[in-house]
Amino acid sequence: MEIKFFFSAVLLVFLPFLAYHAESVTIFDISKYGAKPGGEDISPVLAKVWKEACEATNASKVLIPKGTWYLSQIRLVGPNKAPLELEVQGTVEANPDYTKLPQKDGQWITINYLDGFTISGGGVFDGKGEQAWKANDCHKNPNCPKLPINLSLNFIKNAIIKDVTTKDSKNFHCNCISSQNVTFQRFTISAPGESINTDGIHIARVSNVKVLDSNIGTGDDCISIGDETTDLHIENVKCGPGHGISVGSMGKNPAEKDVTGITVKKCTFTGTSNGVRVKTWPNAPATLKISNLHFEDLTMNNVSYPVVIDQQYCPWNLCTKDKPSLIQISGLTVKNVRGTANTKEALLFSCSSSKPCQNVQISDIDLKYVNSIPANFTTVCENVKPTVSGKQNPPICPTPVQAS
């Protein structure tokens, strides 16, 4: 009796509390406000309920239920007065024709100026990008049309993006710009390896961002990291197809600011052109510093170049190499990298002759050539004298410094 009385008393105390919190989230279900799946543009309804949700003084949720929903284009802008969640259970589809965007220079879905924000629900943002990929000639045409990003996040604080998929974007799948304390978790990105310029997540001018437990397969960098990025932690990400996880490219803009505190850990790369990479342009004006990079516990499965430091980055001959990069790279740790490579130069350290790489530590490298090991399976080292320890397969630079 005493035990029953005790639990009854506990329930009497906590039930009002639980009921309050259950009722404290206001749900804005777009289907209850007139949105219909199957072809009608949901952007007017979504814009209306979003505005109401941002004005709410208690926690609110904008719900896109299961089903297929057509969305032409939208800007979802704060500020929000209380915690706000966008729960996408269904599939949201873009117009396949990139010329039909209402705002030609905009993104598909833009979300700006929020604090305390969540995207969740298990749904899909389908950018329908195949037509745009075929028309993309931006690598040779400076006047090419600007193609929309699936999910553009800007000026976001204290946010989590979890359990959703972005698929077949016409351009980058997602960017995260000028934001703080943002976590991507169980975030899926899907596009064919031949889709042009479809970076998975582009991150720049941020601090305290995490990308965790995610699967990214695309036609460009799985994650690309721009300037003024501080304290970025990437862990347990599966990358492939794609170009790997890249810091840069950097150097073209003289206003670019320092990058520091980048960790890539326990990630797996499968069939990618690169694993982890840093790329800076030669003969370019920027003089920022890239420091405190930690690439650890990485698995490479049939990767062309598992580790790359390329300070002579010049794709499609868009520059000249008569002057070296002015960007200083320092504090680089490469540790416990294992698996297979499909080129003879498994690790490439091509540092700047004007700013040689400093404080580079390499340990426990165990890479194998996908077929039989050629006699010249090796690393390339220019303007760098790394300190090495542990296993070195392939051999790390001709004259490394042995760790004491």
- DSSP-assigned states of every residue in 163-217: S-EEES-SS-SEEEES-EEEEEES-EEE--TT-TT--SEEEES-EEEEEES-EEE
**Max mean pLDDT range (99-103, 138-142, 390-394):** 390-394
Model confidence band, residue 172 (pLDDT cutoffs 50, 70, 90): very high
Tokens of 221: 């960098």
CA angle 388, 390, 395 (to 5 degrees): 60
Question: Residue 387: in which H helix or E strand, if any?
Answer: strand 387-393
Q: What does pLDDT average to over the chain?
A: 91
Q: How far is CA 175 from CA 57, 68, 224, 372, in A?
A: 28, 24, 9, 41
Looking at the predicted structure, is the pLDDT value of residue 99 above 80?
Answer: yes
Looking at the annotation, which residues are catalytic?
243
Share of the chain above pLDDT 70, in %: 92
The residue with tokens 């995260």 is 176
Provide the pLDDT for residue 15. 39
Provide the pLDDT for residue 374. 62
Question: Residue 13: in which H helix or E strand, if any?
Answer: helix 2-23
pLDDT tens figures, 316-355: 777 788 899 999 999 999 999 999 999 988 899 999 999 9
Which domains can be identified in the chain, with CATH numbers? 27-135+146-175 (2.160.20.10), 221-398 (2.160.20.10)
Tokens of 4: 């029953």
SS3 46: helix
Mean pLDDT, to the nearest integer, of 159-179?
98
The residue with tokens 């490579």 is 341
